[in-house]
A = this chain, B = another copy of it.
Amino acid sequence: MKENKVLSSVKDEELIKIRRDQMIKGALTLFKEKGFHRTTTREIAKESGFSIGTLYEYIRTKEDVLYLVCDSIHGEVKKRLEAVVDVKKPTIENFCNVITSFFRLMDDMQEEILILYQEVKSLSKETRSAVLQKEREMASMLEDAIRTCLPHELPKQDITLLANNLLIQGHMWGFRRWMLQKEFTLEDYIEKQLKFALVAMGIESSTKIGEG
């Protein structure tokens, strides 16, 4: 369903999936290395294991590849996040687990997140909207995680903001790694950010902060 925006002149849906997966894998490797603009379609085709002609049987423009890659990154994040969030245990402990898992996931996918930050602007307005929609869904998932575990009510805006803060704190671990990863281990980072979040949510007393 998700890739259907991108037209292909090939009919066999199965084949389309296979080829596009090859393509996404190949392109992702290259985008991590040199970014979207510095990567040529020829390189993508080669890295994907087929010819430039074949590449263009499955996409229409180079931008399509970028969209496919962004979409795939979001898909991967969502899939892995759902696997954790899905648990409907509204406890603080569960909240902590979700957030911890989320941060670990962000650590795992640093380079992919970086691509989203740096290359989404190269998508056309239309396509970019589709990608941003995925971002909104991601925030929603965190909002749910927050809401379901709160022992007390919190204004909607606070939840939205907390979710967004946690989201970009996850991203930040990757895109400010040159600053953070020299001063924090991942575990430190998670622990501290989690504490800040809990305090902000009115769960843990602020006096505890810094005691760990």
Residues of A in contact with B (beta carbons under 8 Å apart): 35, 37, 114, 117-118, 121-122, 132, 135-136, 139, 154-155, 157-158, 160-162, 164-165, 168-169, 172, 175-176, 178-180, 183-184, 188-189, 192-193, 196, 199-203, 205-207, 209-210
The answer on a CB contact under 8 Å between A210 and B168 is no
Q: Are B121 and A210 in contact (CB under 8 A)?
A: no
Contact A192 B157 (CB under 8 A): yes
**CB distance B158 to A192 under 8 Å?**
yes
Could you tell me if A199 and B206 are in contact, using CB atoms closer than 8 angstroms? yes
Interface residue SS majority, chain A: helix
Cβ contact within 8 Å between B122 and A196: no
Instruction: Write out the residue numbers on chain B whose beta carbons fall within 8 Å of the beta carbon of A161.
Output: 184, 189, 192-193, 196
Q: Complex formed: what's the CA distance from A202 to B207 in Å?
A: 6
Give 13 A-B contacts (CB < 8 Å), ordered by A residue.
A37-B37, A117-B118, A118-B118, A135-B179, A136-B179, A158-B192, A161-B184, A161-B189, A164-B176, A165-B193, A165-B196, A196-B196, A202-B207
A74 and B210 alpha carbons, distance in the complex (Å): 32
* Chain B contacts for A35, CB-based, 8 A: 121-122
Q: Are B172 and A176 in contact (CB under 8 A)?
A: no
Complex Cα gap A64–B160 (Å):
40
- Chain B residues positioned under 8 Å from A164 (CB to CB): 172, 176, 179-180
Chain B nearest CB, measured from A211 CB (Å): 9
